[in-house]
A = this chain, B = another copy of it.
Amino acid sequence: MEISENYLTNRVTGEIGQATAIYFPTSQDDVVELMQAVRKNHQKLITIGGHTGLSGATFPDNNQVLMSLEKMNRILKLDTETMTLTVEAGVTIAEISEFLAETPYFYAPDPGSKEASIGGNAATNAGGMRAVKYGVTRDNIRAMRVILADSRELQVGSINRKDSSGYDLKDIFIGSEGTLGVITELDLKIQPKPKFSRDILLGFESLTQLSPKVFEILASGLVPATLEFFERDSMSYSERALKLDFPDLSGQAFLLITLDGNAEQQLENELDYLASLSDEALILKDEQTRNAVWQLRGAIASSVELESIQEPLDVVVPVNKIAPTIIALKQMAIAADLSAIFFGHAGDGNIHANIIKNDLTDEEWTEKLEAYLDELYAYVAKVGGKPSAEHGIGLLKKPYFQKYIGTSELVAMKAIKRAFDPENILNPGKIFDL
């Protein structure tokens, strides 16, 4: 069987793996059948969604069978009374948006890649820009159907809004990166679209100046729909790629904030409050400027990719540690002679640090990057952070994850893996080594 190189490639490192075969099930029954065959043949199974992951979680090794859910892409049911959208796991985020565009509802999570599948989003507990108000993928899934390693179907969660009836199975599978079961179908929480939305851009001289404003906003009780930060530098890549100009606002560090809600006057009052937080404030009234700013923000990572190999990181730290962490990580990068840009979700403490290869040789890059990552993850652990906020651990972050997680926690995770997949059939060697 010829396997398209796309499915074998680690998107981040460019490495190409090997697999025995690839299958494209079109129904849950197909998944069950494939699972039975894989188990019988003592093979291993890697489930692939949109193949947009950034941690190598679907990268295959020998004797591994690939299963892409891209053909399980039907939107099954819109239930407006319980505000639930039922979809197959291969449906993309873009397809969900498109479907709901015609309705009064929206699905809140807004992760970077719109070509990601909803099953992949669930498997990595994807985050995105709107998490500060609407939560991450975990908070927006009511229920799922999962095929286990022994081919049984499991229903996890329900469309009930409250539940204290036994152990919470749903949240074990969310974020388990295909190592515990195959998510085939999901009941998503949808919400009424807010009637109004406003955006504002605030410039600051430095991250040190920006950081206290984030606390101030969060402590005021205002809950923005997005609360993004980035440094001026990180915009230059998307400016070149999109041929768009960032607004002429002085400052080296920026907050880009969206407010949404049904009370227009209230949003205007909140905007005035936000504008008062910086001498360099631009309310994005003009639709063209607004779109440009959001396009530039959204394209940071993909624009870097056009110019160089990069390592896209998604560490998370407690919200009061964002500024000191970025300052420390920048100093480490300078000391290591590595290019890096920093941006992310200030309301969540989620820092994207993209480390850029530029014209380093492969050897230099590997050596410098490894040394830098050792130092970076040690720092993140020291301030109480975690290696992944929203991309997952996969293969690429596994060494750091295993190094800094508590022994008891790792033992507990392995016990869960063994309980659900005693023969280690599902995505073996990802997240941790058994």
Contact present for B409 and A82 (CB under 8 Å): no
Which of A180, A195, A415 lies at the interface centre, i.e. has the most chain B CB atoms within 10 A of its CB? A415
Of A5-13, A353-361, A390-398, which binds chain B? A390-398
Smallest distance from the beta carbon of A52 to chain B beta carbons, Å?
Answer: 14
A219 within 8 A of B: yes
Q: What total of chain A residues lie within 8 Å of the partner, measured CB to CB? A: 93
* Copies of this protein, total: 2
Of A123-131, A282-290, A300-308, which binds chain B? A123-131
Contact present for A83 and B168 (CB under 8 Å): no
Contact present for B406 and A155 (CB under 8 Å): yes
Which of A80, A82, A176, A401 lies at the interface centre, i.e. has the most chain B CB atoms within 10 A of its CB? A82
Distance of A169 Cα from B411 Cα, bound (Å): 11
Task: Pick the residue among B166, B220, B317 that contacts A431 (CB under 8 A).
Answer: B166
Distance of A265 Cα from B270 Cα, bound (Å): 13
Considering the complex, give the chain B residue whose CB is closest to the CB of A220.
B192
Task: Pick the residue among B263, B314, B393, B409 that contacts A269 (CB under 8 A).
Answer: B263
Contact present for A81 and B164 (CB under 8 Å): no
Contact present for B169 and A168 (CB under 8 Å): no
Write the residues of chain A forming the contact surface with B, with a CB cutoff of 8 angstroms. 80-83, 104, 124-127, 131-132, 136, 138-139, 148, 152-156, 158-169, 171-172, 174-176, 180, 191-195, 215, 218-222, 262-263, 265-266, 269, 314, 316-320, 345, 347-350, 384-393, 397, 401, 405-406, 408-413, 415-420, 431-432
A sample of 5 more A-B contacts (CB under 8 A), given A162-B350, A415-B419, is A124-B164, A161-B350, A164-B389, A165-B401, A168-B175
